[in-house]
């Protein structure tokens, strides 16, 4: 499909392509629901199939999907912020900080080491560290709720790890953004210092003066609330991007600062928007990854997935043991933390977009797919452990 010459033809082709993409994603969503699998890998695969060098190539809608993908990241992050209240973040931070450090060390180091061994340089190492570090809170929350494990005693420990990862990301993303922009150690240090300052300031403001931030967007009807929150988010994300602190972190912080019932309503009205744009983001990432590059990086991604599956399991096991959970629950926590998803893709997209090692794209795509497959295969294993432990029951 080539882009048409005239303006109207171009619009027509754009609409057809966009419509086809969204419709196909709708079908994939139904498939995912039918077979109880996370939908993110399907979106990625769809993008790979239709991207450059793929089965079909889409060109007219490229510019639009690129902007929509940016919006997708911002919406993913603001929703993440809206879901957590500042007090939840602070109490998780206090209770789970040692586990957060263990999680970071165990899971970021393998990524960095793989990138250094592959000879991709320091910046790519930091990016790959982020890709392997952060588990997918979206996939895990969905999995916990679908499999009826929300009431389990190990669940708060699992969620605590996710909260700390998300919070750490607010410091990590500015660091990565500064590294990608280049400009030496001074720039990097100042970007991280700004990020630390801004994140602590927002946490304090959100807990003490959250009402005032909330009052900025509080509105009686959902329509103006939606426009208010979306507008504020894009505004702050844009400013954060201008300051090279990362647009995504700006959006995340807006989400945290908005609190109370306004946050709940905002999450409700933003959710459909997030679903559309986040789906486009995953597809766009697949689209801009050349599928012919997948095979050469497969061994690397597989190795990375196997190593970090083990390290994630150690993290989950230790977190649950620390929370006083018995053996079976520890293993449940261990396998739950395996899947990687949205955040790994966000980091890879950021790095590749800024011109870092381009193999990071296909590696992240493969890695996310493999980690989700491994986690689906292992999910039921701790339950089998029970029948082996207690054959009489």
Partner 1 sequence: MGVDIATRVLPGIGVCQELELSSGRRLGIVTRRSGLRDLVLYDDEGDGAAVDVALTDDEANALAEILGAPQLTFRLAVLQRQAEGLIVEQLPIPRNSPYSGRPLGDTQARTRTGASIVAVLRHGAALPSPTPDFVLQAEDLVVTVGTQVAVDHVARILDGTDTTAG
**What is the closest distance, in whole angstroms, from the C-beta atom of residue 143 to partner 1 in the complex?**
12
What does residue 392 show for φ and ψ, rounded to 5 degrees? Answer: -70, -15
Of 17 and 166, nearer to partner 1 (C-beta) is 166
User: Quick check: 348 and 124 in contact, CB under 8 A?
Assistant: no
CA–CA dist 7, 324 (Å, integer): 65
**What is the closest distance, in whole angstroms, from the C-beta atom of residue 252 to partner 1 in the complex?**
13
Quick count: other Cβ atoms within 10 Å of Cβ 97? Answer: 12
**What is the closest distance, in whole angstroms, from the C-beta atom of residue 93 to partner 1 in the complex?**
11
Of 160 and 291, nearer to partner 1 (C-beta) is 160
Ramachandran class of 324: left when φ > 0, alpha when ψ lies in -120 to 50, beta otherwise: left
Structure tokens, 24: 């196909």
Of 33 and 326, nearer to partner 1 (C-beta) is 326
User: Quick check: 188 and 163 in contact, CB under 8 A?
Assistant: no
Of 137 and 177, nearer to partner 1 (C-beta) is 137
**What is the closest distance, in whole angstroms, from the C-beta atom of residue 314 to partner 1 in the complex?**
19
CA–CA dist 124, 298 (Å, integer): 17
| Cα-based distances in Å from 45 to 288, 296, 351 | 12, 17, 20
**What is the closest distance, in whole angstroms, from the C-beta atom of residue 95 to partner 1 in the complex?**
10
Q: Tokens 């990362």 sit at which residue?
A: 246
**What is the closest distance, in whole angstroms, from the C-beta atom of residue 267 to partner 1 in the complex?**
8
CA–CA dist 313, 319 (Å, integer): 10
Of 285 and 331, nearer to partner 1 (C-beta) is 331
Q: Tokens 């890695």 sit at which residue?
A: 367
What does residue 388 show for φ and ψ, rounded to 5 degrees? Answer: -75, -35
Structure tokens, 159: 């969620």
| Cα-based distances in Å from 37 to 140, 212, 339 | 11, 41, 12
**What is the closest distance, in whole angstroms, from the C-beta atom of residue 103 to partner 1 in the complex?**
15
Of 157 and 178, nearer to partner 1 (C-beta) is 157
Of 147 and 290, nearer to partner 1 (C-beta) is 147
65-84 in b/e form (b: 16+ CB < 10 A) is bbebbbbbbbbbbbbbbbbb
**What is the closest distance, in whole angstroms, from the C-beta atom of residue 73 to partner 1 in the complex?**
18
Binding site for partner 1 (CB under 8 A): 80, 83-84, 88-89, 91-92, 137, 141, 144-145, 148-156, 159-160, 162-163, 264, 267, 325-329, 332, 386, 390, 393
**What is the closest distance, in whole angstroms, from the C-beta atom of residue 151 to partner 1 in the complex?**
3
Of 149 and 187, nearer to partner 1 (C-beta) is 149
- Going by the DSSP 8-state scheme, the letter that residue 292 receives in this structure is G
3 state DSSP class of 234: helix
Of 74 and 267, nearer to partner 1 (C-beta) is 267
Q: Which helix (H) or strand (E) holds 31?
A: helix 7-34
């Amino acid at each position: 499909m080539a882009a048409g010459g005239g303006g109207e033809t171009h619009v027509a082709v754009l609409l057809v392509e966009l419509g086809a993409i969204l419709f196909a994603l709708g079908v994939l969503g139904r498939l995912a629901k039918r077979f109880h699998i996370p939908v993110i890998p399907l979106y990625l695969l769809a993008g790979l199939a239709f991207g450059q060098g793929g089965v079909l190539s889409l060109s007219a809608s490229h510019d639009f999907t690129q902007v929509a993908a940016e919006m997708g990241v911002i919406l993913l992050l603001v929703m993440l912020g809206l879901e957590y209240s500042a007090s939840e973040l602070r109490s998780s931070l206090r209770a789970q900080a040692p586990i957060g450090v263990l999680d970071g060390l165990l899971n970021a180091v393998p990524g960095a080491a793989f990138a250094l061994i592959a000879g991709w340089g320091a910046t790519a190492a930091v990016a790959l560290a982020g890709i392997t570090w952060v588990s997918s809170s979206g996939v895990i929350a969905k999995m916990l709720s679908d499999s009826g494990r929300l009431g389990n005693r190990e669940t708060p420990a699992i969620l605590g790890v996710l909260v700390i990862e998300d919070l750490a990301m607010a410091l990590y993303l500015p660091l990565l953004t500064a590294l990608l922009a280049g400009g030496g150690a001074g720039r990097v240090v100042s970007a991280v210092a700004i990020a630390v300052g801004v994140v602590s300031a927002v946490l304090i403001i959100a807990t003490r003066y959250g009402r005032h931030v909330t009052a900025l967007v509080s509105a009686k009807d959902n329509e103006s609330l939606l426009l208010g929150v979306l507008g504020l988010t894009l505004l702050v994300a844009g400013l954060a991007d201008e300051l090279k602190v990362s647009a995504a972190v700006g959006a995340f912080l807006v989400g945290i600062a908005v609190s109370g019932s306004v946050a709940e309503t905002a999450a409700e009205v933003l959710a459909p928007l997030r679903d559309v744009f986040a789906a486009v983001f995953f597809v766009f990432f697949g689209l801009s990854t050349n599928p012919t590059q997948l095979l050469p990086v497969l061994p690397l991604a597989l190795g990375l997935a196997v190593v970090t599956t083990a390290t994630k399991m150690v993290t989950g096991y230790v977190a649950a043991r620390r929370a006083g959970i018995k053996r079976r629950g520890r293993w449940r926590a261990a396998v739950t933390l395996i899947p990687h998803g949205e955040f790994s893709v966000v980091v890879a997209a950021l790095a590749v977009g800024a011109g870092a090692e381009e193999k990071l794209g296909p590696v992240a795509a493969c890695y996310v797919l493999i980690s989700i497959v491994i986690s689906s295969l292992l999910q039921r294993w701790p339950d089998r452990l029970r029948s082996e432990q207690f054959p009489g029951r």
